[in-house]
Amino acid sequence: MAKFIYGVDIGGTSVKMGFFDQEGQVLEKWEIPTRRENSGEEILPDIARSIQAKNTEKGISIEDILGIGMGVPGPITEDGRVLKCVNLGWGIFSVAEKVRELTGVEKVKVGNDANVAALGEQWRGGGRGFDSIVMVTLGTGVGGGVVLNGKILTGANGAAGEIGHLPVKAGESRVCGCGKKGCLEQYSSATGLMRKARELVENTDKPSMMRDYEQLTGKEIFAAYEAGDALAGEVVEEFAEFLGLGLAQVAQVLDPQAFVIGGGISKNGPVVTDVIKDRYAKNVMFALQGTEFRLAELGNDAGMYGAVKMVLG
Amino acid sequence: MAKFIYGVDIGGTSVKMGFFDQEGQVLEKWEIPTRRENSGEEILPDIARSIQAKNTEKGISIEDILGIGMGVPGPITEDGRVLKCVNLGWGIFSVAEKVRELTGVEKVKVGNDANVAALGEQWRGGGRGFDSIVMVTLGTGVGGGVVLNGKILTGANGAAGEIGHLPVKAGESRVCGCGKKGCLEQYSSATGLMRKARELVENTDKPSMMRDYEQLTGKEIFAAYEAGDALAGEVVEEFAEFLGLGLAQVAQVLDPQAFVIGGGISKNGPVVTDVIKDRYAKNVMFALQGTEFRLAELGNDAGMYGAVKMVLG
Q: What is the pLDDT of residues B69-90, one digit of tens each?
A: 999 998 888 888 888 788 898 9
Confidence of residue B66 (pLDDT cuts 50, 70, 90): very high
Confidence of residue B278 (pLDDT cuts 50, 70, 90): very high
Strand residue runs (E) in chain A = 4-10, 14-21, 26-33, 65-72, 81-85, 90-94, 108-112, 133-138, 142-148, 151-152, 258-262, 292-295
Q: Which residues, 6 or more positions from B23, have their beta carbon under 8 angstroms from its beta carbon?
A: none
Q: Which residues, 6 or more positions from B113, have their beta carbon under 8 angstroms from its beta carbon?
A: B9, B10, B11, B71, B72, B73, B303
**Tens-digit pLDDT profile for residues A125-180:** 999 999 999 999 999 999 999 999 999 999 999 999 999 999 999 999 999 989 99
What is residue A164's predicted lDDT score, i.e. its pLDDT? 96
CATH of domain B129-297: 3.30.420.40
**Tens-digit pLDDT profile for residues B225-251:** 999 999 999 999 999 999 999 999 999
* pTM recorded for the entire structure: 0.94
Assign a CATH topology to domain B4-119+301-312.
Nucleotidyltransferase; domain 5 (3.30.420)
* pLDDT mean over B289-303: 97
Q: What percent of chain B has pLDDT over 90?
A: 92
Interface check for A152 against chain B (CB to CB < 8 A): the answer is no
Interface check for A287 against chain B (CB to CB < 8 A): the answer is yes
Interface check for A163 against chain B (CB to CB < 8 A): the answer is yes
**Contact yes or no for A254 and B75 at CB 8 A:** no
What's the Rg (C-alpha) of chain B?
21
* pLDDT mean over B277-289: 95
Q: Is the pLDDT of residue B169 over 80?
A: yes
- Centroid of chain to Cα A142: 8
Judging contacts by C-beta atoms under 8 Å, the chain B residues touching residue A245 are 167
What is residue A86's predicted lDDT score, i.e. its pLDDT? 79
A4-119 matches A129-297 in fold: yes
Q: What are phi and psi of A170, to 5 degrees?
A: -80, 150
What is residue B84's predicted lDDT score, i.e. its pLDDT? 78
Which ipTM did the prediction report?
Answer: 0.93
* pLDDT mean over B31-42: 95
Give the residues of chain A that fall short of pLDDT 70: none
Mean of pLDDT over chain B? 95
Domain range annotation of chain B: 4-119+301-312, 129-297
What is residue A233's predicted lDDT score, i.e. its pLDDT? 97
Judging contacts by C-beta atoms under 8 Å, the chain A residues touching residue B249 are 166-167, 249, 253
**Highest CATH level, class, for A4-119:** alpha beta
What is residue A2's predicted lDDT score, i.e. its pLDDT? 78
* pLDDT mean over B114-126: 97
